Amino acid sequence: MYQFETKCIQSGYTPKNGEPRTLPIYQSTTYQYDDAAALGKLFDLEESGHMYTRISNPTLEAVETKLADLEGGVGAMLTSSGQAANFLAVFNICAAGQNFIAMDNIYGGSINLFSVTMARMGIEVRYANDRMSDAEFEALFDENTRLVFGETITNPALTVFDIRRFAALAHKHGVPLIVDNTFATPYLFRPLAYGADIVTHSTSKYMDGHANVLGGCIVDGGSFDWAASGKYPELTEADESYHGVVYTKQFGPAAYITKARVQLLRDFGCTPMPMGAYLLNLGLESMALRVQRHSENALAVARFLKTQEKVLWVNYPLLEGNAYYELAKAYLPLGASGVVSFGVKGGRDAAMKLMNSLKLAKIVVHVADARTSVLHPASTTHRQLTDQQLEAAGVGPEFVRFSVGIENVDDIIADLQQALDQI
Ligand X SMILES: Cc1ncc(COP(=O)(O)O)c(C=O)c1O
Residues that bind ligand X (CB under 6 A): 81-83, 86, 107, 109-110, 151, 155, 180, 182, 202, 204, 214, 216
Nearer to ligand X by C-beta: 132 or 211? Answer: 211
Minimum Å distance from CB 63 to ligand X? 15
Nearer to ligand X by C-beta: 107 or 304? Answer: 107
Minimum Å distance from CB 136 to ligand X? 25
Euclidean distance between CA atoms 202 and 106, whole angstroms: 13
**What DSSP element (H or E) covers 202?**
strand 198-202
Minimum Å distance from CB 268 to ligand X? 14
CA nearest to 235, candidates 264, 274, 273, 210: 264
Nearer to ligand X by C-beta: 155 or 258? Answer: 155
Minimum Å distance from CB 181 to ligand X? 9
Minimum Å distance from CB 109 to ligand X? 5
**What DSSP element (H or E) covers 187?**
helix 185-188
> End-to-end distance of the chain based on CA atoms, in angstroms?
53
202 - beta bridge partners? 216
Minimum Å distance from CB 165 to ligand X? 20
Nearer to ligand X by C-beta: 69 or 369? Answer: 369
Return the residue nearest ligand X (CB atom). Answer: 82
Euclidean distance between CA atoms 72 and 346, whole angstroms: 46
Nearer to ligand X by C-beta: 155 or 297? Answer: 155
Nearer to ligand X by C-beta: 177 or 235? Answer: 177
Euclidean distance between CA atoms 225 and 260, whole angstroms: 16
Nearer to ligand X by C-beta: 182 or 341? Answer: 182
Decide: 205 and 196 in contact? Cβ < 8 Å: no
Contacts of residue 177, defined as CB under 8 A and 6 or more positions apart, other chains included, come to 147, 148, 149, 150, 163, 166, 167, 170, 171, 191, 195, 196, 197, 198
Q: Which amino acid is at 115?
A: S
Minimum Å distance from CB 92 to ligand X? 16
Contacts of residue 193, defined as CB under 8 A and 6 or more positions apart, other chains included, come to 72
